[in-house]
Amino acid sequence: MTALAYYQIHLIYTLPILGLLGLLTSPILTKFDIYKISILVFIAFSATTPWDSWIIRNGAWTYPSAESGQGVFGTFLDVPYEEYAFFVIQTVITGLVYVLATRHLLPSLALPKTRSSARSLALKALIPLPIIYLFTVHPSPSPDPLVTDHYFYMRALSLLITPPTMLLAALSGEYAFDWKSGRAKSTIAAIMIPTVYLIWVDYVAVGQDSWSINDEKIVGWRLGGVLPIEEAMFFLLTNLMIVLGLSACDHTQALYLLHGRTIYGNKKMPSSFPLITPPVLSLFFSSRPYSSQPKRDLELAVKLLEKKSRSFFVASAGFPSEVRERLVGLYAFCRVTDDLIDSPEVSSNPHATIDMVSDFLTLLFGPPLHPSQPDKTLSSPLLPPSHPSRPTGMYPLPPPPSLSPAELVRFLTERVPVQYHFAFRLLAKLQGLIPRYPLDELLRGYTTDLTFPLSTEAVQARKTPIETTADLLDYGLCVAGSVAELLVYVSWASAPSQVPATIEEREAVLVASREMGTALQLVNIARDIKGDATEGRFYLPLSFFGLRDESKLAIPTDWTEPRPQDFDKLLSLSPSSTLPSSNASESFRFEWKTYSLPLVAYAEDLAKHSYKGIDRLPTEVQAGMRAACASYLLIGREIKVVWKGDVGERRTVAGWRRVRKVLSVVMSGWEGQ
């Protein structure tokens, strides 16, 4: 077999993997990821160059000469150019694997409970360094490669790895190997996957004589009889060092996200790479304490969403960490307020609860604003006109009212059940980042929900708040379009430089988000027709059954003439119905698909109409937005494909199918939908 030159090792083994990882991570790679990997490349290049030059001069390893035909392109400080490329390639490969392995994690959940533990460990790590230097730095008795020193490579490796690894482990080892949050598994995967691959590449290269290790400078243990154990340890330990460095960056980001206001007031995270700024080091060494309350709040929010909004929580992994943590807080608030208002066992007076939530919004954001430029309002041809109270394309947001921690604590203590304090505190962290009016729309949707379950009188009169298609779409706008609009503001807060410059452009993005949110709500309604009916909730418009005249904005349907008797069948499922109950066979002869498929079709039209506007969101959130939308819209496809005849049970999507669809859309854009 023809021996491979060093550059051929790169062409055949390292660069293709680097390209594949770049392709896989390109939709989710953020500026912060690039900063992290770039600074690690700089450090690896700067630290390894003199070390590699030193061990080459001491004869630890060599490379073929140019005359052999396998030679290197050239050297600098005795180090081949291809070796410099390896410094970069290895660091980037490990960095991209780290991105893939940790993207599903929330950085803040792995934070140590207190600052003191990291601080004391970091200081203790400095104590043994002089001893390590004493026993590892002393050079070989002679720089002559022929002089036997079987522990030279091992000592040299200790010199390169031990000091920075000990310091990084002290600063962020507890963070990187936190088992409770799941980060430890991802850290180990990020270390071992590139390590195993690069050890194999090294095995091939040494076997091909692309480079060689001096037997006089190693202990003599070889993997497979070919690769010195020192080479395997080099990749394991350098990848450990790289991953700990990346973890230190995430540790820093987590401190900013969870405790930025406590430590630095309202200062934002530096736009330049944060690890090399003096304020960041003070995060680790400052004696100023921080509370464990924000982490507990986030943990409770995650636990809630994993139980009640699994689709969103899984899809949210596509968002950058800063956006994702804010969205988790926002969604948790929406779920909690829905429970507060909708559950009799939680609140005996739901209208008073709505007033309480409205008062909380006033505390955070001030009174409702009125549109200053109504002529700039854009309307979707597929949705009802915006509510008159909705301001238009507002950015930047007006300054929020001043809110002291004591005021927040007083409000929560006096008016909010203690088990829900966490969600209100998480929303308070979004003060100044989102406007109030979408949350007011959400409360308007809750008010509609309070008309359910229908009273006996309403059942007898065939009366529901959803009389026409316009009513249904307006309800969808309130409970889902509003939340999608808030997502846009959260994304703008993370990337203010990518906010559209004009009101018209901003309004186009906001309208698109409202279309998408409403589309997802229609899918939910189409899926839950039977379940809602058994709870006395009826979201199908009465106009579908010929019981009301349709509005100008109508959802196309396939039936030639409406059937009022079908609505009576639905009513018979209601707990408060006085109509004759349908027996099991009759109930299951209800043609659920007849009424669900028009909703799904209209939802898909709304979603497609929104794609262009959503693609104008900040670049780093587009993958997450597509993932979240695809995850929900897949339920609609499940309804179309799986439901047969009159079977109206609630549809779910297998986890593997959801993941496959999300990956397809993230990698291929909307075409993957």
Q: Which DSSP string do the residues of 108-174 spell out, in sequence order? A: GGG--S-HHHHHHHHHHHTTTHHHHHHHHSS--S-S-TTS--TTHHHHHHHHHHHHHHHHHHHHHHH
Angstrom distance (rounded) from CA 276 to CA 245:
12
Please, which pLDDT band fits residue 185 given cuts at 50, 70 and 90? very high
pLDDT, tens digit, 9 for 90 and up, residues 30-89: 888 998 899 899 988 888 888 888 878 777 777 765 555 456 677 777 788 888 888 999
All domains of the chain, ordered by start, with CATH? 6-290 (no CATH), 291-371+393-451 (no CATH), 453-583+594-672 (1.10.600.10)
Angstrom distance (rounded) from CA 600 to CA 641:
12
Amino acid at residue number 494: S
Interstrand relation of 222-223 and 227-228 (parallel, antiparallel or unpaired): antiparallel
The three-state secondary structure class of 227 is: strand
Question: Which of 81, 126, 99 shows the shortest CA–CA distance to 37?
Answer: 99
Neighbours of 632 (CB within 10 A): 24
User: Is it the case that residue 232 has pLDDT exceeding 70?
Assistant: yes
Burial class, 585, CB count within 10 angstroms (exposed 0-12 / middle 13-18 / buried 19+): exposed
Angstrom distance (rounded) from CA 537 to CA 535:
6
Tokens of 574: 């209601």
Q: What percent of the chain has pLDDT over 70?
A: 78
Q: What is the pLDDT of residue 376?
A: 47
Task: Give the global pTM.
Answer: 0.84
Mean pLDDT across 328-344? 88
pLDDT, tens digit, 9 for 90 and up, residues 253-309: 888 888 766 655 544 555 444 444 444 454 455 455 667 888 899 999 999 988 887
User: Is it the case that residue 319 has pLDDT exceeding 80?
Assistant: yes
- Asked if residues 606 and 515 have their Cβ atoms less than 8 Å apart, the reply is yes
Give 210's DSSP letter.
S
Angstrom distance (rounded) from CA 658 to CA 111:
30
The three-state secondary structure class of 2 is: coil
Angstrom distance (rounded) from CA 629 to CA 648:
23
From 64-78, 158-172, 456-470, 601-615, the region with the lowest mean pLDDT = 64-78
- Asked if residues 238 and 264 have their Cβ atoms less than 8 Å apart, the reply is no
Mean pLDDT across 634-662? 62
Q: How far is CA 651 from the centre of its chain?
A: 25
Question: Which of 228, 194, 197, 199 shows the shortest CA–CA distance to 214?
Answer: 228
